[in-house]
Amino acid sequence: MLMIAAFFLPTWDISLEAPQYPEGLGMQIWLNKITGDLGTINGLNHYIGMKKIEPDSIKELTIMPFILGFLILAGIIVGALGKKKLLTLWVILFVLLGIAGGVDFYMWEYDYGHDLDPTAAIIIPGMSYQPPLIGSEQLLNFVAHSYPAEGGIILIAAGIISLLALGYEATFNKTKTKKEYEKKDVKHSFISSFIHHGLVHHKP
Amino acid sequence: MKSLKKLIISALTVILVMSAFTYYGCSTKKGSTGPIVGDDAPSKVYVPPGKYDEFYGFFSGGFSGQLAVYGLPTGRLFRVIPVFSQDPEKGYGYSEESKPMLMTSQGFIPWDDAHHPELSMTNGTPDGRWIFINGNNTPRVARIDLKTFRTAEIIEIPNSAGNHSSPFTSENSEYVVAGTRFSVPVGNKDVSIDSYKENFKGVVSFIKVDPSSGKMNIAFQLMTPPYDYDLSHAGKGPSHDWFFFSCYNSEQSNSLMEVNASQKDKDFIMAVNWKKAEEFLAQGKAKDMASTYYHNTYDEGTHTATSEILTSTKILDPKDCPGMIYYMPCPKSPHGVDVDPSGEYIVGGGKLSTVIPVFSFSKMLKAIEEKQIDGEMDGIPVLKYEAVIGGEVQKPGLGPLHTEFDGKGYAYTSMFVSSEVVKWKLGTWEVVDRAPSYYSVGHIMIPGGDSKTPWGKYLFVLNKITKDRFLPTGPELPQSCQLYDISGDKMQLLLDFPTIGEPHYAQAIPADLIMKNSQKTFKLDDNKNAYVTRNEKEARVERKGNEVHVYGTMIRSHFTPDNIEGIKLGDEVYFHLTNLEQDWDIPHGFAVFGNENSELLIMPGETQTIKWIPKNVGVIPFYCTDFCSALHQEMQGYIRVHPKDANVQLTFSTGSKPN
């Protein structure tokens, strides 16, 4: 449920710093779109022969909302059914898809940073312009920072909480065997994730 | 003003300058010496690199026709806003889009004499939305939008000749006024100049300002006696409904005016009740008068100016409108007419007067009520001086011109002849301080100093003569501004800086009231110019008879198209160029070899058009004039010009891809 918020928040944030841009320059990657100073970044990138970042031609932006939608729906069903095996399967799927997303993003960055137009005005032997997956890096006159944005933080947090819940579940289940308890506890783990993010005020 | 200036200078400058030199000693090598500035002066006008000034200052460009924007207190020049004069640097008045801004009933007038900037006001306080300025020569009033720092609108003032008492505004900028400095035979009559008294009239215009859009229109004009209407200010608070105008030449002379218009002991301050005028207008007391005048507006959406030709004004004759106008006698040839922040005191700046007369608004109302009247002029009652005078500042100096207020109970009056500023107390009329100006101060300015809420920290003194104040630059020297700290009891000189043209008057406003609204770029998606080219794919060249239209784009660091062939001698080429950038502070310029025209300087998201008539067969280069990028020098192109009778087709391309 928490993950629904990820639809309305940017997932990843790439910001650029340069002497000529005291006001900052950046782009935000959402599940289904890219916002920010895309035109300016594309304009600058043409000097080094980078391809234009055109959100319409990035297929991930069409697929991602469905993948996440499926995950959320499956999560709700799993939560409602309260089957532990299903929950384990869901968490594994979630984590795998998360890793796949990261790998895909890295490859996308790699492609943009390396597949350069050989006729570009500025060619520096050995230089590529791949922004980091997470972290900061100097690329010519720009320092590129790449970090998860609000939506990304929520998704990563949700993944970690799910894993923790699974671990907690595993230890807890050694002492309690009744299925009703399991069900209750799975629900509890979902609720705890809300509390964790302060979206629901928990009053004991 | 100029002839008077000449007279007084020739008569008094020798004595003045000599006495100044004997007084302070003279050393041209080390610069002119005045009173030594305080040790803390440098820190008071120093703004560290990267930090902002406290105030925006708007200084009239005088005979440059423009408006200069300075940061204060540093005196750093940020921008010259083209208003009434062509500006080849920015393509203003040269581009097809901006040419209509300078259209008048007299044709395309590429120059004017800009005198008095006046910020728009809300509740008597400058609000930072617009600034108005008058064109004195071919009567006009301009409105500048302070989001873009560009001239948004210019309206011509018909039946006027020398728009000097302008463009002062009422407390909520309900009206901007435009009084004529020259009375003329209204309606372009062919009459003898000697028939001045019978045939000449002074027309005072009231321009209504739309409170949301700022759009101006002439609501009505007052047909008043043939005096010279010099300056003006609106009332405030209790005097909200009134405008005050200073008038000289009550002698009604039309020749050798420096003598003939200086004979009477008193001229007038004209008090106009504009609320009453509105009532008379509503009652249908106004007569329609055929008058042709231009109203030019610049549309931010189309980036294009259009001219509307208007044909009629509504004239109110004081004879039909009792209680609308009164004259208050004022010694002698008054220039400034300045209303204090409370709205009670009206200070006349009698250039040739030995006192500064201060009129009381409440006494004026009482005098009207008690009919303390001393004759009339063309149906306008003249109130008794004794009945309206609130006080006189005695022995202030020579040549009082103009007064501003600090909001702390003090007034500051410039003295042109004795070249000084005097500080005096409202109510007691005593002079409390005086400071020299270098030299011959005209107007002065305190931020908000003519409003209800002065920010009374600095005083800016606008000098006509600079002589030895700066490094010499041949016979032509700048005029100057001097900055005094007025936060203490004594005025303290902090800084001299040169100005563009002649700074007749200035306005200043705390920076945060303007900078938060300052626009960075124009949105390309919102560009509604008739010749916009939104992307490089749409770039093209089209022929219509002998007109060739280039729909081009500019982006770092190339033009599309940049190779054009098929243009023939006898063609008129219009370059419609769109700057595709959406990045702050990335304008592109455009210039064509041998074009009898200016460059274009096009802001991100904007479209502008320049006309070029090729004169020779050959290949003509064009290029970007604003250093836009590391490859700015590569931002260039060629146009091939064929003989007149060549059988050629238009072709155009960029890079290897021919279109």
Tell me the nearest-neighbour CA distance from A120 into chain B, angstroms. Answer: 12
Which residue type is seen at B509? I
Q: Which residues on chain B place their C-beta less than 8 Å from a C-beta of chain A?
A: 555-557, 581-584, 629-631, 634
| Inter-chain contacts counted by CB atoms under 8 A, chains A and B | 20
Q: What CATH class does B2-515 carry?
A: mainly beta
Cα(B359)–Cα(B343) distance, integer angstroms: 11
Q: Give how far B526 is from chain A: nearest CA, Å.
A: 16
Cis ω before B167 (30° cut-off from 0): yes
The C-alpha torsion from B122 through B124 and B126 to B129, rounded to 10°, is 20
Average pLDDT over residues B419-435: 97
Query: Measured between CA atoms, how close is B623 to chain A, in angstroms?
Result: 18
> Taking CB atoms and an 8 Å limit, are B556 and A43 in contact across chains?
yes
- Region B92-118: mean pLDDT is 98
**What ipTM score was computed for the predicted complex, to two decimals?**
0.73
- According to DSSP, the residues that pair with B485 across neighbouring strands are B458, B492
The model's pLDDT over B27-72, given as tens digits with 9 standing for 90+, comes to 444 566 556 677 889 999 999 999 999 999 999 999 999 999 999 9
Residue B389: DSSP 8-state: E
Give the tens place of pLDDT for each residue, A31-72: 999 999 998 899 888 899 999 999 988 889 999 899 989 988
Return the higher-pLDDT residue of B215 and A101.
B215
Would you say B373 and B362 are in contact if contact means Cβ atoms under 8 Å apart? no
Chain A contact set for B556 (CB, 8 A): 43-44, 47
Among all residues of chain A, which has the CA nearest to that of B583? A40
What does DSSP say about strands B67-72 and B55-60: parallel, antiparallel, or unpaired? antiparallel
Residue B1's pLDDT band (cuts 50, 70, 90): very low
pLDDT value at residue A182: 45
Q: Tell the CATH superfamily of the B524-658 domain.
A: Cupredoxins -  blue copper proteins (2.60.40.420)
Please choose, from the candidates B165, B194, B167, the residue with its C-alpha nearest in 3D space to the C-alpha of residue B182. B165
- Which residue intervals of chain B bear CATH 2.60.40.420? 524-658
Residues of B in contact with A122 (CB under 8 A): 630
Query: How large is the C-alpha radius of gyration of chain B?
Result: 27
In this structure, what token pair is assigned to residue B193?
Answer: 């100049």
What does DSSP assign to residue B114?
B
∠ at Cα B585 (B305, B512), nearest 5°?
A: 85
Percent share of chain B, pLDDT over 70: 94
Closest-CA distance, A164 to chain B, in angstroms, reads: 46
Interface test with B, best of A20, A38, A122, A141 (most B CBs within 10 A): A20
- In 3D space, the residue among B194, B177, B198 whose CA is nearest the CA of residue B271 turns out to be B177
CB contact under 8 A, A43 and B584: no
In angstroms, the CA B390 to CA B360 distance is: 5
- Spatial neighbors of B5 by CB under 8 A, at least 6 apart, are B416, B440, B464
Give the residue from chain A lying closest to B557, CA to CA.
Answer: A47
**pLDDT tens across B453-482, in order?**
999 999 999 999 999 999 999 999 999 999
B584 closest CB neighbour out of A23, A47, A122: A23
* A→B interface, C-beta within 8 Å: 23, 37, 39-40, 43-44, 47, 121-122
Q: What is the number of H-type helices and E-type strands within chain A?
A: 5, 5
pLDDT of A57 reads 87
Q: Which residues of A touch B634 (CB under 8 A)?
A: 121
> What are the tens digits of pLDDT across the range B293-326?
999 999 999 999 999 999 999 999 999 999 999 9
Contacts of B555 in chain A (CB under 8 A): 43
Cα distance from A139 to chain B (closest Cα, Å)? 16
Region A114-126 average pLDDT: 89
Dist. CA B589–CA B557, nearest whole Å: 11
Start and end residues for every CATH 2.130.10.10 domain found in chain B: 2-515
Q: What is the pLDDT of residue A173?
A: 64
Instruction: Give the nearest chain B residue to A43 (CA atoms).
Output: B556
Q: Enter the tokens of residue B413.
A: 């009056």
DSSP string covering B326-344: EEEEESSSEEEEEE-TTS-
Burial of B245 (0-12, 13-18, 19+ CB in 10 A): buried
Q: pLDDT > 70: what percent of chain A?
A: 83
Cross-chain Cβ contact B583/A23 below 8 Å? no
For residue A181, what is the DSSP state? H
Q: By the 8 A CB rule, do B463 and B490 touch?
A: no
Beta-carbon contacts of B475 under 8 Å, excluding residues fewer than 6 positions away, are: none
Pair A94, A86: CB distance under 8 Å: no
Are A28 and A6 in contact by the 8 Å Cβ rule? The answer is no
Measured CA to CA, the distance from residue B499 to residue B503 in angstroms comes to 7
Left, alpha or beta for B31 (phi > 0: left; psi -120 to 50: alpha)? Answer: left
Residue B214 and residue B346: Cα distance in Å, rounded?
28
Q: Which of A25, A40, A52 to probe by mutation at the B interface, max B CB count within 10 Å?
A: A40
CA B99/CA B598 separation, integer angstroms: 12
Inter-chain residue contact A43 with B581, CB threshold 8 Å: yes
What DSSP string describes A76-139?
HHHHHHT-HHHHHHHHHHHHHHHHHHHHHHHHHHHHHHH---TT-S---TT---PPPSSEEEEE
Q: How confident is the model at residue B6 (pLDDT cuts 50, 70, 90)?
A: low
Domain spans, chain A: 2-196
Asked whether the beta carbons of B477 and B501 are under 8 A apart, the reply is no
- Name the more confident of A178 and B345: B345
User: Which residues are bridge partners to B244 per DSSP?
Assistant: B233, B271
Query: Closest residue of A to B555, CA-based?
Result: A43
Residues of A in contact with B630 (CB under 8 A): 47, 122
Closest chain A C-alpha to B572 CA, distance in angstroms = 33
Token pair for B511: 């920076």
Interface contact A37-B555, CB threshold 8 A: no
Spatial contact of B179 and B241, defined as CB atoms under 8 Å apart: no
Q: State how far residue B627 is from chain A, nearest Cα, in angstroms.
A: 13
Q: Give backbone dihedrals phi and psi of B399, rounded to 5 degrees, phi first.
A: 75, 50
